[in-house]
Amino acid sequence: MIEIRKAVIPAAGLGTRFLPTTKSIPKEMLPLADKPLIQHIIEEAVASGIKQIIVITSSAKIAIEEYFKRNLALESVLQEKGETELLEGVRRISTLANISFIRQDQPLGLGHAILATREIIGNEPFAVFLPDDIFDTDPPLIKQMINVYQRHKGSVIALRQVAKEDTVRYGIVKTDQVAERVYRILDMVEKPAPEEAPSNLAIMGRYILTPEIFEALIDTQPGTGGEIQLTDGLALLLKQQAIYGYAFDGTYYDAGKPLGFLKASVSLGLHHPGMGNELREHLRKLVGN
Ligand code: G1P
């Protein structure tokens, strides 16, 4: 059985939906409950058995690279002050996984970003996590998708129904159902107008991809927004091999914009062992029972 050992996290985007905050702070570094968004994503990968993580950043996102490096000056201050718990928390960050960084300084699209990881991924299937998309599922969504990959032996894309008027925000698929929650993809198109959308099943930001995606991305021409789209690369790959969709059960948060981020924060906060009870009480007081 082929294991999924590597994951790619594209994090080079400008974060325009989160301006003005993202003018100077990468949105991936904003805290969701008690830690940065990107740490939640990395912990989701690690909890699903993934050991090596490639983060795609840009020169404007050095804060992400710094976060995962050791900070010896901070560690020695915490040590001197006897702040053992804080010290362990800070040290743990650099030991979460084997994390490396690739720079994508030109905004040429998600497909272009994925193609930049070709050498480091090599000839094996891998996971992709889009950090804007946060999922509350049990077990972690990517773990469920790895199971689908192992059963069906093809790339797997997370899917969710969206309102007809929202098709312009997502990749949209045409499908045939093959098992409970599992669909065979027949076609896909990036951000179609509602009247052109083949369905209202949208691609969500978790993927298991076979390495043949790289060849397909080399042949992919710029599409929506003049960018090399991963959806277009997958549509090419579809001509050679089967691709599956997995309609997960759970809640999705669009953490790439302030309201979605706030909702995800509240949800993660309510589940947090140290914060949950007090937050629940506070929300009750604010809105009534
Ligand atoms: C990307 C993908 C799109 C997918 C979406 C999920 O779009 O290109 O197919 O539906 O993520 O969040 P973006 O949100 O980067 O525009």
Q: pLDDT value at position 15?
A: 86
Which atom in ligand 1 lies closest to the alpha carbon of residue 171? Answer: 9
Are residues 184 and 244 in contact, defined by beta-carbon separation less than 8 angstroms? Answer: yes
Instruction: Give the β-pairing of 243-247 and 133-136.
Output: unpaired
Tell me what percent of the residues of the chain surpass a pLDDT of 90: 91
Which atom in ligand 1 lies closest to the alpha carbon of residue 190? Answer: 9
Instruction: Please give the distance, rounded to the nearest whole angstrom, from the Cα atom of residue 123 to the centre of ligand 1.
Output: 25
How far apart, in Å, are the Cα atoms of 47 and each of 41, 52, 142, 183, 255?
10, 12, 9, 25, 20
CA proximity to 252, closest of 156, 143, 158, 119: 158
Other beta carbons less than 10 A from residue 289's beta carbon:
4
Q: Is 81 helix (H, G, I), strand (E, B) or coil?
A: coil
How far apart, in Å, are the Cα atoms of 194 and each of 168, 211, 247?
7, 32, 20
Q: pLDDT value at position 288?
A: 82
Q: Find tokens 């570094």 and name the residue.
A: 29
CA 149/CA 233 separation, integer angstroms: 19
CA 126/CA 208 separation, integer angstroms: 6
Summarised one tens digit per residue, pLDDT across range 163-218 is 999 999 999 999 999 999 999 999 999 999 999 999 999 999 999 999 999 999 99
Are residues 198 and 118 in contact, defined by beta-carbon separation less than 8 angstroms? Answer: no
Q: pLDDT value at position 94?
A: 87
Which atom in ligand 1 lies closest to the alpha carbon of residue 133? Answer: 12
Mean of the per-residue pLDDT values of the chain? 94
How far apart, in Å, are the Cα atoms of 207 and each of 75, 93, 116, 126, 288?
36, 24, 16, 8, 40
CA proximity to 207, closest of 100, 99, 114: 114
The CATH homologous superfamily for domain 6-288 is: Spore Coat Polysaccharide Biosynthesis Protein SpsA; Chain A (3.90.550.10)
Instruction: Please give the distance, rounded to the nearest whole angstrom, from the Cα atom of residue 29 to the centre of ligand 1.
Output: 20
How far apart, in Å, are the Cα atoms of 92 and each of 11, 39, 89, 95, 231?
21, 11, 5, 5, 35
Q: pLDDT value at position 107?
A: 81
Q: Decide whether any atom of ligand 1 lies within 6 Å of the 171 Cβ.
A: yes
Q: pLDDT value at position 220?
A: 96
CA 280/CA 35 separation, integer angstroms: 19
Summarised one tens digit per residue, pLDDT across range 86-143 is 999 999 998 889 999 999 878 899 999 999 999 999 999 999 999 999 999 999 999 9
Instruction: Please give the distance, rounded to the nearest whole angstrom, from the Cα atom of residue 250 to the centre of ligand 1.
Output: 19
Tokens linked to 98: 């084997």
Q: pLDDT value at position 289?
A: 65
Q: Decide whether any atom of ligand 1 lies within 6 Å of the 203 Cβ.
A: yes
Instruction: Please give the distance, rounded to the nearest whole angstrom, from the Cα atom of residue 158 to the centre of ligand 1.
Output: 11
